[in-house]
Amino acid sequence: MKKTFKRTLRVSKYVIYKETLVDYKEHFWSFLGAFFGIGLIAFLQSHYLLQQENVFLIGSFGASSVLIYGAIQSPLAQPRNLVGGHVISAIVGVTVYQIVPDILWLSAPLAVAFSIILMQYTKTLHPPGGATALIAVTSPGKIADLGYWYVLSPVLSGCIILLLVALFFNNITKNSSYPTSSRWKRLLNKKHKHSLKN
């Protein structure tokens, strides 16, 4: 019993130590990726949209940035999860709002709960998707007026911008690779080799 406890303690110390190691290069690229991903969406919102259409930057993109720039190996941060999770959750949120628009105590939990179930079912679980669904039912005014356009813009268009920036910044160094799927890696390697030949 004592040996098991000591071994568990030793393993725990190692895992905690390993998790707190600082790789300054990786942190630098995470910072740049998040800065340019969110910055590009914010720039488009502030310069190319009318004041009354200014809903391109939604809060759940901040949470997505933590995953796709800071925890790129996480299964929840992969492209399928990023795009699928947000889009499914946006559809659910808008649908719930259309059915139960004025009963917040019912529409908010329904939107989040259904979005979780559908993300699980489609294998696109992305925690910020729950916030995307919640935004659709709790935001008065502009977002509510968008209806299903909310799914295309800001949600899908914002996800695509975040993903393109993540594909660039997360593959700059040799130590990181995004996405983790071997199919994506093969595709990215083919494009990289093709561009080197030209």
The owner of tokens 């007026």 is 145
**Exposed/middle/buried for 45, CB within 10 Å: 0-12, 13-18, 19+?**
middle
**Global pTM?**
0.81
Structural domain boundaries of the chain? Answer: 23-173
Burial 164-187 (b: 16+ CB within 10 A, else e): ebbbebbbeeeebbbbeeeebeee
pLDDT at 194: 57
Residue type, position 137, single letter: V
pLDDT at 139: 87
The one-digit pLDDT tens for each residue of the chain (198 residues) are 667 766 766 666 555 555 555 577 888 999 999 999 999 999 988 877 665 455 788 999 999 999 999 999 999 999 999 999 999 999 999 999 999 988 999 999 999 999 999 999 999 999 999 999 999 999 877 888 889 999 998 999 999 999 999 999 999 888 788 998 766 666 656 655 655 555
Using CA atoms of 33, 39, 44, 50 in order, give the dihedral in degrees to the nearest 10.
150
pLDDT at 157: 94
How far apart are alpha carbons 114 and 136 in whole angstroms? Answer: 13
pLDDT at 183: 67
pLDDT at 1: 64
Eight-class DSSP state of 48: H
